[in-house]
Copies of this chain bind each other. A is one copy, B any other.
Amino acid sequence: MRARPVIVAFPYASFRRSALSGIRSVFFISDGTGITAETLGHSLLAQFQECRFRLERLPFVDSQMRAQACVRQIRAAAMRDGVRPIVVSTIVDAAVVAALREADALFLDLFEQSIGPLEAELGVRASHSVGRSHGITESASYFARIEAINFTLAHDDGQSHERLNEADVILIGVSRSGKTPTSLYLALQFGIKAANYPLIPEDFERDCLPPELLRHRGKLFGLSISPLRLAQIRSERRPGSRYAQPDNCNFEVEAALQLMQREGVAVIDSTARSIEELAALILQAIQPAEQG
């Protein structure tokens, strides 16, 4: 299990003197899960590669009492670090924000920074009520998301050819090219029904894509990967196996690319892309933005 809090030293640090004197505590504080504050916070902190940060997410801070508990943690971190912490927050309730600001910290209030300009633009006051954002995801698209997850699980790794007409996308590629995590992310984050099928030695011998997939050619989407990276990944799973050997990985990747290109299947390279990036690229391809 990952330990919390996490100390991050960004790679490629240029080791400037000023910032290396110590560790700065950063708190991601939210009245919800804190995932948004943490994600944007990570992007911001990644811009300061010479600094070392101690990261902590404090979710569900939805009362003044909880805010006061945060204040105690922030103060303790300031004492320990010898420098005031940074707080990245997305709290909606003004009273909770006020309680939090009793602490001495650099406050980056992602909500407050934007809500004023939005009110002015829309000519409407913000409701400042907590949790309505959750209502949206739960009510309208919740069942669709759960359905997408169930569908994706049932169609992971070629388990089933049934109901493929319901799929939004069918990912294909060699074993360990990233199909499963990408499919799951598409389902969880975007409510996309994503089946996935491995291209296996039988497909390369027969030298054509499985006919049951070709019936849904318009939904096919290929993942490729560098043979070197593939060999690394497979070696972690089955060290010393034929499956993991570089020449075999090279052959499979090439053969898969040829099969997919011959059938006009769009292919993206998963080698240096995160699950989120792969999912967003696929979504962009299968749901092309309307040209206004």
Contacts and interface: CB of A to CB of B under 8 A. Distances in A.
Contact of A1 (B11, B189, B192): B192
Nearest to A152: B184
Interface stretch (A54-62, A205-213, A254-262): A54-62
Contact of A134 (B60, B77, B128, B277): B277
Contacts of A149: 180-181, 184
A139 interface: yes
A240 interface: no
A59 B58 CA distance: 28
A145 B274 CA distance: 11
Given A49-B127, A275-B188, A118 B44 contact: yes
Given A280-B35, A280-B59, A114 B110 contact: yes
A136 B76 contact: no
A162 interface: no
Contact of A47 (B19, B132, B168): B132
Assembly of this chain: how many copies?
2
Contacts of A108: 113-114, 117-118
A84 to B, nearest CB: 8
Given A36-B40, A132-B47, A180-B149, A24 B115 contact: no
Given A35-B276, A60-B280, A5 B117 contact: no
A119 to B, nearest CB: 8
A138 to B, nearest CB: 6
A161 to B, nearest CB: 19
Interface stretch (A94-102, A220-228, A241-249, A281-289): A281-289
A73 B156 contact: no
Interface in A6-33: 8, 10-11, 16, 18-19, 24-25, 32-33
A90 B40 contact: yes
A65 interface: no
A163 interface: no
B272 A5 contact: no
A8 B136 contact: yes
A12 B60 CA distance: 24
8 contacts: A1-B193, A19-B123, A36-B40, A47-B118, A49-B132, A86-B118, A108-B114, A153-B153
